């Protein structure tokens, strides 16, 4: 099975890079769901803002200062919080449930708002956004967006790949959970979680996912 970050499309990978940039600009040392939210809004542009029904600027202003900053550099290992890891698990779950092969910014947005992170939920509610409704809009965006790009215009419903079974979903999610728990950080030289990652996360994901 392909490693989870290999499933991220370019925009989703860019969202993670933006999240790391936001973390550093805020002086934080853990990448949380709130950083992923800002990263998704930066990478997803107007489509992400429309799904969330609030602007990047307002979200960033609301989230600045919600997590205490610490002195020192965050250029080395950047651990992911438990909720950030869960948000990525939920993004993958959404992708698999919709029968899609790629994780997009729409899937990431769905994962971030569904994880019920207190910082994200508090910020959204404070901005007049219902997280449950935002999740449904993000899922609709994911369903409307990715399949059209992946589908052969001439293929019939019978020719399209079948949706994965519940057992397959659970096995894949279990692999993701193990990998994220063990390797939820990257070396300073890692700009994106892909095959070029120097900390070995991509290799670890591939090894973990090939266990049967």
Is domain 4-147+161-209 annotated with CATH 1.10.1780.10? yes
DSSP 39-106: HHHHHHHHHHHHHHTS-HHHHHHHHTTSS---SS--SS--PBPHHHHHHHHHHHHHHHHTT-SSB-HH
Nearest 5°: the CA angle 30, 139, 193 is 35
Residues pairing with 31 in the sheet: 80
Q: Residue 76: its pLDDT value, please?
A: 60
Q: What is the DSSP letter of 194?
A: S
Query: Which stretch of 22-26, 74-78, 125-129, 145-149 has the lowest confidence by average pLDDT?
Result: 145-149
Q: Residue 58: its pLDDT value, please?
A: 94
Q: What is the mean pLDDT of residues 100-121?
A: 93
Residues pairing with 80 in the sheet: 31
Q: What is the mean pLDDT of residues 174-184?
A: 58
**pLDDT tens digit string along 41-52?**
999 999 999 999
Q: What is the mean pLDDT of residues 78-102?
A: 90
**pLDDT tens digit string along 117-133?**
999 999 999 999 999 99
Question: Which two tokens mark 157?
Answer: 């419903």
Give the Cα separation of 115 and 104 in Å (integer): 17
**pLDDT tens digit string along 183-194?**
555 444 454 455
Q: Residue 108: its pLDDT value, please?
A: 95
Question: Which two tokens mark 23?
Answer: 């973390």
Give the Cα separation of 43 and 37 in Å (integer): 10
Question: Which two tokens mark 153?
Answer: 């215009």
Give yes or no for residue 35 having a pLDDT over 80.
Answer: yes
Mean pLDDT of the chain: 76
Give yes or no for residue 201 having a pLDDT over 70.
Answer: no
Give yes or no for residue 159 having a pLDDT over 50.
Answer: no
| Residue of 169 and 113 predicted with greater confidence | 113
Question: Which two tokens mark 8?
Answer: 């991220």
Give yes or no for residue 75 having a pLDDT over 80.
Answer: no
Q: Residue 54: its pLDDT value, please?
A: 93
Name the pLDDT band for 177 (thresholds 50, 70, 90). Answer: low
| Domain chopping of the chain, boundaries | 4-147+161-209
What is the rounded radius of gyration, in angstroms, for the C-alpha atoms of the chain? 17
Give yes or no for residue 23 having a pLDDT over 70.
Answer: yes
């Amino acid at each position: 099975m392909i490693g989870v970050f290999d499933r991220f499309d370019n925009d989703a990978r860019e969202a993670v890079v933006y999240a790391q940039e936001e973390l550093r600009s805020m002086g934080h040392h853990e990448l949380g769901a709130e950083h992923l939210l800002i990263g998704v809004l930066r990478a997803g542009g107007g489509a992400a803002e429309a799904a969330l029904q609030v602007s990047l600027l307002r979200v960033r202003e609301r989230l600045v200062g919600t997590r205490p900053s610490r002195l020192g550099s965050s250029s080395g290992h950047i651990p992911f919080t438990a909720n950030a890891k869960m948000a990525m698990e939920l993004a993958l779950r959404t992708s698999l449930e919709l029968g899609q092969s790629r994780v997009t910014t729409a899937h990431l947005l769905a994962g971030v708002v569904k994880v019920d992170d207190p910082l994200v939920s508090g910020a959204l509610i404070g901005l007049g956004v219902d997280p449950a409704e935002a999740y449904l809009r993000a899922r609709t965006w994911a369903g409307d967006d990715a399949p059209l790009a992946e589908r052969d215009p001439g293929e019939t419903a019978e020719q399209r790949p079948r949706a994965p079974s519940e057992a397959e979903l659970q096995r894949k999610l279990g692999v993701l959970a193990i990998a994220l728990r063990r390797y939820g950080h990257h070396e300073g030289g890692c700009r994106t979680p892909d095959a070029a990652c120097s900390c070995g996360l991509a290799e670890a994901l591939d090894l973990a996912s090939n266990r049967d």
